[in-house]
Every structure is written in structure tokens, then in C-alpha cells.
Amino acid sequence: MKRHVVVLAEAANDIERGIDFYDAIEDGVGRYFRDSIIADLRRLGLYFGEHRIHLGFFRALSSRFPYAIYYRDKDDIRQVVAVLDLRRSPKWIRETLTKR
């Protein structure tokens, strides 16, 4: 059964920060990052029970970038609560997820 995927505002902001980061490195890489994350988000609606729970959320790893997509299932909806850079410290990731 396909599930709807909803990206919450804070997760959308995480994606925008990632776009800005990669565009600062090289023009166009931010667009590639965005497209890759969108493809990963689309796959979330197709796969159920595949991802492990990490810090209270399901965690899917991005296929092309060192990012994790943290989400929860609520009824038939996947709520994406964070899209975080895994190069950040584990403490920062834990504190960020605790606030969401």
C-alpha cells in the first residue's frame, strides 16, 4: 500500500539549508541535492517497515548524499520531521531530533 508523504516545515527548511550549502560549493550541485532528496522522499511512500527506528523516528538514508530522512508514520501518512546532514555531531543530531 502506498502511503502519502508529508514534509513538515522544519524538514523543508533542512532541505533548503542543504541546497544552499551545496550551491555554495559549486553552482548546480544544490539543484542535484534537491532532486536526489525528492527522489528519496518519493520512495518513502512505497516502502513500509524497511527502515530502522533511530532516536524515536524511522530513519532512511539518502541514496546520494550523507543525509538521513527522519520520519514517523501517522495513520496512512509518513510525516518527514527532519532531513539532517550526517556529518554533524551525533550530539547535535540528537538535540535537533529531541526538539521535533
Which residues, 6+ apart, have CB-to-CB distance to 93 below 8 Å?
55, 84, 86
List pLDDT tens digits, range 43-84.
998 886 689 999 999 999 999 999 999 999 988 899 999 999
The domain locations on the chain are 4-98
Which residues, 6+ apart, have CB-to-CB distance to 56 below 8 Å?
97
SS3 80: strand
Task: Kindly state the percentage of the chain with pLDDT values over 90.
Answer: 88
Which residues, 6+ apart, have CB-to-CB distance to 21 below 8 Å?
30, 85
What superfamily in CATH does domain 4-98 come from? RelE-like (3.30.2310.20)
Q: What pLDDT shows up at residue 2?
A: 79
pTM to 2 decimal places = 0.94
Task: Kindly state the percentage of the chain with pLDDT values over 70.
Answer: 97
